[in-house]
Chain A
């Protein structure tokens, strides 16, 4: 079965989601990531969703789960590259995405993580309104 590749960059993991995932694929990604965070002793996970045209509540919950599990394993999660149409739809859907930081792209995401390390800044990306 196909799996979504996880790239290791130093102490960071980068996941680029490029396919319209069906549920089993999403679940296996969650499992793979958790394993990898532990085995790589990763400090952060960047999830690049710039190729996703749809993020529904299932994918949203997957992302929130990944963020929650990462935090337990002492790693940060940053979601990057959300498309405008997806963002607008998620706000309308009312999906909170608690505890998930966001950035415009991988570069900004890395800068965010670095700044965090420097300042222990704790801005939350809570989108619920």
Chain B
């Protein structure tokens, strides 16, 4: 499916996380997402960016504007070279009450997105992809 635009953002500080939010918001507005859909996408991006920073030791986000037939969407790929995740199923379970931890970021981001994919192995870093369609 055709990619209309690509950009990459570094995630190495908490200021970068703010910049990631702003970049994702700008593209979502550009595509004409409803306010609720914008908020869901930016919030999911915030969760994943934070994960990348805190558990992945820093990384990058790649943002793509994609088109499929009549619909357009935003795809985000968060990648880090961190420790990776040993038990993906466990990580996807919500861990809000445990006050932090990968769980809430991943499960939440999945619920807020139309598409979600994760590739991660111990010692091989983590790659999380989400997408939301207009």
Contacts and interface: CB of A to CB of B under 8 A. Distances in A.
Whether A and B touch directly in their complex, counting CB atoms under 8 A apart, is answered as: yes
B47 interface: yes
Interface residues of A, number: 21
Interface string B11-36: 00011011001100100000000011
A20 B18 contact: yes
A24 interface: yes
Contact of A22 (B18, B36, B43, B104): B18
Nearest to A21: B18
28 contacts: A23-B17, A24-B14, A53-B39, A54-B21, A54-B42, A54-B43, A55-B43, A56-B46, A56-B50, A57-B47, A57-B108, A58-B46, A61-B99, A61-B100, A85-B35, A85-B36, A85-B38, A88-B36, A89-B40, A89-B112, A92-B111, A92-B112, A93-B111, A94-B94, A94-B108, A95-B96, A96-B96, A96-B97
B96 A57 contact: yes
Interface string B49-71: 01000000000000000000000
Contacts, number: 67
The SS class assigned to the B binding surface is: helix
Interface of A: 20, 22-24, 53-58, 61, 84-86, 88-89, 92-96
Nearest to B40: A89
B44 to A, nearest CB: 9
A88 B39 contact: yes
A94 B40 CA distance: 12
